[in-house]
């Protein structure tokens, strides 16, 4: 009996609709869980069947049909970004970033190592927050930015080719965590929080984190140049961040205002804070030359610690985590984590706070609704509702923002609209277009950190569970369970018309420009030449590829030579990617139509070594091979 047979209305009805009865069942039963949990009433068999059918229709993208949304998922500590179709939740592509990928050769090819720069020496990464560039508060589809907590980097992906094209190591900080983009007037800046407090200089001369010389910084990156614009020294540590819809303010949560080094210490204060940055004031100071630098870095640094004109510190309950700007532009919402509340900071009042017209920074708090246990992140449907993950309660709570404000002001209103069980322990959640002014309230993805019993067992390591929830109606409905690998942390959804990828490479693409430059110096026409250039013990092999052959099927080098193979795929046909693998040399790469790619290795073993095409490109793909002949030294 297949598992699916368990999900008929009949069997579910027999199980008495108990919550436990649903736990092992798959996607579609979830819709009924939601419906019964909300309504509290037992459904008739007919209602049940209708609910299942409705959910099924909504997420079913038939063979040959396309999804409505592009999802971009962080690959977590696996280091990549994944492209997922929504609502089908089908994985469409993987974009290697902070990892090494043998299919595409990311981290192995000269082009990728050039982009990774110095940090190509790191083979690991830890992505959390993918975000797409915006113009006027709407996705412009140009770039996606992502942080690397592990090695304090920020990377940019060009969405026209879906490859990483820039990578930056943020100087003098440790662990880039929260990352968001300026929304208005356009993404001029990437805002990146460095989480950990470190001593300055961090040369082993001082380990005291309570010292004034110990701090972390809020980092602002020029999005187009992918260079540091400036850094802001802050009190405490930094967790998550977001920007407003005026282009003036950004805000970060801080859970370690104590600058403590242990768990007990980090929970000592009843309140930590949200720090708000006044971007124009910082820009003006830097323009006027009023800044310093740290260590041997030339990046302008301003001191934004308490008392500074650049920042304001707004006390919020204990160890806040998520920081999300409501899609109506009104609030920064900080999730309580250790407090059952979220704090709504009214952005319209920030001017007065910075102009010292408000004496108490808590005067900008519009409301502090109590939502449930372990609030982590908040997302929005564009209809005035917010949705917050409750990690400890394993729920998503839907609540109304205007009603929460009224309740805070003493009115008797129940701002909680629904609590939906999710499976289990959700971290981030993301509603379609929620971080733009176009939040459309259609889909919500809850990224659950635990999947427990939701999937076939895979050994001690379990997948995470990304659940798709239909939020288009009055009630949230769980419609799909999606197993994912290595904690995606966060994902975003863009309408499919907002992303416009190319189908084949353009020959003048900057992605492989340094390689084209090298070939030019060697007098090579990449589209036609098949040649070996010797330069001391460096050998550069240039060849073309066209299904199902390489332009060169044999070349000879000497033992100990450093060999660089550069291949230009002259196929013009969409989807005909070739590969190049030199057996037993650790060399592998992708060469898609009209792309030039190159890889360098040492020919350290005398003898004959086959190379072959690794992407199945033609009926005679197996025959797409060649030989490297290595003469003994
Ligand atoms: S954080 S589970 Cu890395 Cu985005 Cu909140
Ligand atoms: Cu070319 Cu397979
Ligand atoms: Ca704390």
- Does the beta carbon of 129 lie inside 6 Å of ligand 1? yes
Query: Alpha-carbon distance 455 to 448, whole Å?
Result: 13
- pLDDT of 21 reads 31
| Cα 73 to averaged position of ligand 2 atoms, centre (Å) | 29
| pLDDT in the model for residue 37 | 39
Q: How far, in Å, from the CA of 462 to the mean position of ligand 1?
A: 19
Backbone conformation region of residue 91, classed left if phi is above 0, alpha if psi is from -120 to 50, else beta: beta
Helix/strand/coil for 577: coil
| Ligand 2 centroid to residue 499 C-alpha, Å | 28
Of all protein residues, the one whose alpha carbon is nearest to atom 1 of ligand 2 is 578
Q: Nearest Cα to 387, choosing from 400, 403, 370, 374?
A: 400
Question: What's the pLDDT band for 10 if we cut at 50, 70, 90?
Answer: very low
Ligand nearest to the CA of 175: 1
Atom of ligand 2 nearest to the CA of 545: 1
Task: Indicate the range of 53-57, 562-566, 580-584 predicted with least confidence.
Answer: 53-57
Its pTM stands at 0.92
In this prediction, residue 43 has a pLDDT band, given cuts at 50, 70 and 90, of: low
**pLDDT average, residue stretch 107-136:** 98
The domains of the chain are located at 512-631
C-alpha 483/C-alpha 487 separation (Å) is 10
Question: Would you place residue 19 in the very low, low, confident or very high pLDDT band (cuts 50, 70, 90)?
Answer: very low
**Ligand 2 atom at minimal distance to the Cα of residue 618:** 2
What is the pLDDT, as a whole number, of residue 44? 74
So what's the pLDDT on residue 30? 39
Q: List the residue whose alpha carbon is closest to atom 2 of ligand 1.
A: 427
Q: pLDDT: is 420 or 18 the higher one? A: 420
Residue 77 in contact with ligand 1 by CB distance below 6 A: no
In the predicted model, what is the mean pLDDT of residues 348-361?
97
Q: What Rg value do the Cα atoms of the chain yield, rounded?
A: 27
Distance 612 CA to ligand 2 centre (A): 8
Confidence band of 34 (pLDDT split at 50, 70, 90): very low
Q: How far apart are the first and last CA of the chain?
A: 65
Ligand 2 atom with the smallest distance to the CA of 613 is 2
CB atoms within 10 A of CB 458: 11
Q: What is the pLDDT of residue 372?
A: 98
Tokens for 151, please give them.
């090695």
For range 345-373, the mean pLDDT: 98
pLDDT attached to residue 58: 80
Pairing relationship of beta strands 596-602 and 607-612 according to DSSP bridges: unpaired
Q: How confident is the model at residue 53, as a pLDDT?
A: 76
Q: Which atom of ligand 1 lies at the shortest distance from residue 449's CA?
A: 2
Q: Answer yes or no: is the C-beta of 611 below 6 A from any ligand 2 atom.
A: no
Residue 24 in this model has a pLDDT that exceeds 80: no
Task: Tell me, using a 6 A CB cutoff, whether residue 576 lines ligand 2.
Answer: no
Question: Quick check: CB of 488 below 6 Å from ligand 1?
Answer: no
* Beta strand residue intervals within 163-300, DSSP E: 163-169, 174-181, 189-196, 198-199, 214-222, 227-234, 241-243, 249-254, 271-278
Cis peptide before 548 (omega within 30 of 0): yes
- Determine the pLDDT at residue 327: 97
Average pLDDT over residues 623-631: 98
Q: Is 547 in the pocket of ligand 2 (CB under 6 A)?
A: yes
Does residue 115 line the site of ligand 2, with CB under 6 A?
no
pLDDT tens by residue, 465-474: 999 999 999 9
User: Among all ligands shown, which has an atom nearest to the Cα of 389?
Assistant: 1
Check pLDDT > 70 for residue 45.
yes
Closest to 286 (Cα-Cα) out of 302, 309, 275: 302
**Residue 615 in contact with ligand 2 by CB distance below 6 A:** yes
For residue 504, how far is its CA from the centre of ligand 3 (angstroms)? 50
* Percent of the chain surpassing pLDDT 70: 93
Handedness of CA 544, 547, 552, 557 (dihedral sign): positive
CA proximity to 353, closest of 334, 332, 338? 332
Residue 76 pLDDT > 60, yes or no?
Answer: yes
Section 57-78 average pLDDT: 94
Handedness of CA 499, 505, 510, 512 (dihedral sign): positive
Q: What is the mean pLDDT of residues 233-246?
A: 98
pLDDT score of 157: 98
pLDDT at residue 265 greater than cutoff 80: yes
Choose between 231 and 20: higher pLDDT. 231
Q: What is the mean pLDDT of residues 302-315?
A: 98
Q: 227-234 and 301-303: which strand pairing?
A: parallel
CB-ligand 2 contact for 617 (6 Å cutoff):
yes
Average pLDDT estimate for 586-610: 98
Given a cut of 80, whether residue 477 has pLDDT beyond it is yes
Show Cβ contacts of residue 64 under 8 Å, excluding neighbours closer than 6 positions. Answer: none
pLDDT computed for residue 7 by the predictor: 36
What is the structure's pLDDT at 47?
Answer: 74
Six token digits for residue 376: 């982590």
The alpha carbon of 427 and the centre of ligand 1 are apart by a number of angstroms equal to 6
Q: What percent of the chain has pLDDT over 90?
A: 90
Q: What is the signed CA dihedral for 478, 484, 489, 494, rounded to 10 degrees?
A: -70
Query: Average pLDDT for residues 180-197, to the nearest whole number?
Result: 98
Instruction: Report pLDDT for 42.
Output: 56
- Atom of ligand 1 lying closest to residue 149 CA: 3
Closest among 242, 103, 99, 124 to 184, alpha carbons compared: 242
Q: Which residues are annotated as a binding site for Cu cation?
A: 128-129, 177, 321, 377, 428, 489, 578, 613, 615, 617, 621, 624
Q: Where are the beta strands (DSSP E) in 186-270?
A: 189-196, 198-199, 214-222, 227-234, 241-243, 249-254
The ligand with the least distance to the CA atom of 579 is 2
> Ligand 2 in contact with 616 (CB < 6 A)?
yes
611 CA distance to ligand 3 centroid (A)? 57
Tens-digit pLDDT profile for residues 534-557: 999 999 999 999 999 999 999 999
Query: What's 512-631's CATH class?
Result: mainly beta
pLDDT at 496 over 60: yes
Report whether pLDDT(82) > 50. yes
Helices and strands of the chain, counted as H and E runs: 10, 40
Judge if the beta carbon of residue 377 lies within 6 A of ligand 1: yes
User: What's the 322 CA to ligand 1 centre distance in angstroms?
Assistant: 7
For ligand 1, the distance from its centroid to the CA atom of residue 55, given in whole angstroms, is 29
């Amino acid at each position: 009996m297949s598992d699916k047979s368990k999900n008929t209305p009949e069997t579910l009805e027999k199980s008495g609709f108990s919550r436990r009865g649903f736990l092992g069942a798959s996607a579609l039963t979830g819709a009924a869980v939601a419906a019964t949990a909300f309504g509290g009433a037992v459904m008739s068999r007919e209602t049940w069947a209708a609910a299942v059918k409705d959910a099924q229709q909504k997420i079913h993208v038939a063979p040959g049909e396309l999804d409505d949304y592009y999802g971009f998922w962080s690959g977590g500590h696996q280091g990549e970004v994944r492209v997922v179709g929504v609502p089908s939740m089908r994985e469409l592509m993987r974009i290697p970033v902070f990892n090494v990928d043998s299919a595409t050769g990311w981290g192995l090819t000269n082009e990728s190592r050039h982009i990774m720069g110095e940090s190509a020496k790191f083979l690991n990464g830890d992505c959390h927050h993918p975000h797409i560039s915006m113009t006027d508060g709407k996705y412009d589809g140009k770039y996606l930015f992502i942080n690397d907590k592990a090695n304090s980097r920020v990377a940019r992906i060009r969405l026209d080719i879906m490859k990483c094209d820039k990578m930056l190591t943020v100087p003098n900080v440790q662990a880039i965590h929260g990352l968001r983009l300026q929304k208005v007037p356009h993404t001029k800046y990437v805002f990146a929080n460095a989480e950990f407090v470190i001593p300055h200089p961090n040369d082993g001369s001082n380990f005291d984190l309570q010292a004034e010389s110990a701090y972390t910084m809020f980092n602002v990156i020029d999005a187009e140049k992918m260079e540091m614009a400036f850094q802001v020294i802050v009190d405490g540590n930094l967790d998550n961040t977001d920007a407003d819809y005026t282009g003036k303010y950004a805000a970060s949560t801080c859970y370690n205002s104590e600058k403590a080094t242990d768990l007990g210490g980090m929970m000592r204060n009843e309140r930590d804070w949200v720090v708000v940055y006044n971007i124009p004031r910082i820009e003006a100071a830097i323009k006027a030359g009023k800044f310093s630098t740290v260590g041997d870095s030339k990046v302008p640094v301003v001191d934004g610690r308490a008392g500074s004109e650049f920042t304001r510190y707004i006390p919020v309950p204990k160890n806040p985590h998520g920081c999300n700007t409501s899609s109506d532009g009104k609030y920064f919402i900080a999730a309580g984590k250790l407090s059952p509340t979220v704090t709504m900071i009214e952005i319209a009042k920030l001017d007065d706070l910075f102009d010292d017209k408000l004496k108490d920074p808590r005067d900008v708090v519009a409301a502090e609704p109590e939502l449930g246990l372990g609030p982590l992140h908040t997302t929005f449907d564009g209809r005035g509702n917010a949705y917050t993950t409750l990690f400890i309660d394993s729920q998503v709570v839907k609540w109304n923002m205007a009603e929460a404000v009224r309740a805070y002001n003493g009115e008797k209103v129940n701002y909680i609209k629904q609590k939906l069980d999710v499976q289990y322990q959700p971290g981030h959640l993301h509603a379609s277009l929620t971080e733009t002014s176009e939040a459309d309230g259609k889909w919500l993805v809850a990224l659950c950190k635990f999947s427990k019993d939701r999937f076939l067992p895979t050994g001690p390591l379990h997948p995470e569970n990304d659940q798709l929830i239909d939020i288009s109606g009055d009630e949230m409905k769980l419609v799909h369970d999606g197993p994912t690998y290595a904690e995606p942390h966060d994902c975003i959804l863009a309408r499919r018309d907002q992303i416009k990828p190319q189908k084949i490479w353009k020959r003048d693409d900057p992605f492989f420009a340094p390689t084209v430059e090298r070939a030019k110096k060697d007098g090579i026409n990449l589209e036609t030449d098949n040649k070996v250039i010797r330069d001391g013990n460096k050998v550069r092999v240039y060849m073309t590829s066209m299904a199902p052959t390489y332009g060169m099927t044999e070349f000879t080098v000497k033992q100990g030579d450093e060999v660089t193979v550069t291949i230009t795929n002259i196929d013009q046909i969409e989807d005909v990617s070739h590969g190049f693998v030199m057996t037993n040399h650790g060399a592998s790469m992708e060469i898609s139509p009209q792309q030039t790619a190159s890889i360098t290795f040492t020919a350290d073993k005398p003898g004959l070594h086959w190379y072959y095409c690794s992407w199945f490109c033609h009926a005679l793909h197996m025959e797409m091979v060649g030989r490297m002949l290595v003469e003994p030294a």
